[in-house]
A and B are shown apart, each in its own frame.
Chain A
Amino acid sequence: MTQPASSSAASQTQRNIIARPVGEDTVLTLIGAGGRGPWPFVTGIPNLTSDIGGPPPQYLAVAAWAA
């Protein structure tokens, strides 16, 4: 069942990581919206026509794992 925005329990949790696509092959993600930071990350996907804008998301996850 759909509800008006901000009325569900999950809606009460502060969301401090936000990701959005920029163009076809890149996503911009910000840690710390409203909290500590901000720390921005650019991730990309492999493609035939241009260099990748940033590491693919799986690689960023493994980088975090390494750290």
Chain B
Amino acid sequence: MVTVVGVAYRGGIPLENIEVDFAVEPVERADYPASLGFGVREVVRLKGNLSETERVRLQRAVRYCPVGQALTKGSMVVEDEVQWLSGEVTAASPVPESLRPLEGNLPAIVPGSVHGRYLLDTKEYDADGGMSDEGEAKIYVTTENLTHTSRWTVLAGHSSEGWVPPPFPTAQAAWAASTATTLSRLLPFEDAGDAESLRVELGMSAPGGRGQAQGNAAAGTVSYRNAVRRIVAPGSPRTMPIETIQAALLRDPISIAYREGGVVLDEQVVID
């Protein structure tokens, strides 16, 4: 949402408001048969007196926002490395083509929904009246847990004081969490407490900043971003071989989306 707000502002497009709905569902991946991925059905609602040209420009921005590019267009260039608690560190990319995904059970992906509202009154202006920060979005998340339905709210966006995290780092936090979840479930730990000594660390490049990202979104240009993902693993290369860790990473749902895309099952942009 904040990318579209920024594109509209920079392009002088009279966008008055925006809302987004995602329905999330499990999807079995043919290319990774041992994995259950996730798919989304997306509806974006734009409010404003928009011309056809403006609608097309904003629709393109919807498709090419930085997080959408990472999840659907292969924009993430990932370099993996592993550091064992014994001290050794080694590159874990590229993965040998012959390596098979590690067997084992991953958490179920349950159906649910994500509803996003743009918080209009959080938009910030500079002394000349120009927009300095796009403001915040409030996101309502609902999932069907195996016990009962669960709900959370998440705030993200662009604020000068850093009240909320920007969307792209939030998405990478999700990737780190997904990686940690996947490895903690699949790796053959020697002791029960070893999983808690696991750590996933991410470092990102930020090519061009926010203005460049919005320009790319408006133009429909894929902006590649480099990421270093370090797995800090218990044990040593002998007790936790690099191939085992690489094979487990092949099962991670968000990593699969970064490599293969395919999470968009349906998308609509509606003008109100």
Chain A residues packing against B (C-beta within 8 Å): 1-8, 10-11, 13-24, 27, 29-32, 36-37, 39, 41, 43, 45-52, 54-67
Contacts and interface: CB of A to CB of B under 8 A. Distances in A.
Nearest to A6: B89
B50 interface: no
Interface string B35-70: 000101000000000000000000000000101100
A3 B83 CA distance: 9
A65 B38 CA distance: 14
A63 B181 contact: no
B215 interface: no
Contacts of B254: 57-58, 61
Size class of the B contact interface (CB-based, 8 Å): 35 or more
Interface string B172-209: 11111111110010000000000110111111110000
A21 B201 contact: no
11 contacts: A4-B89, A17-B169, A19-B179, A19-B180, A39-B173, A41-B174, A47-B146, A58-B24, A59-B24, A59-B143, A67-B170
B63 to A, nearest CB: 11
A11 to B, nearest CB: 7
Given A37-B165, A51-B145, A52-B150, A65 B179 contact: no
Given A15-B230, A64-B167, A21 B184 contact: yes
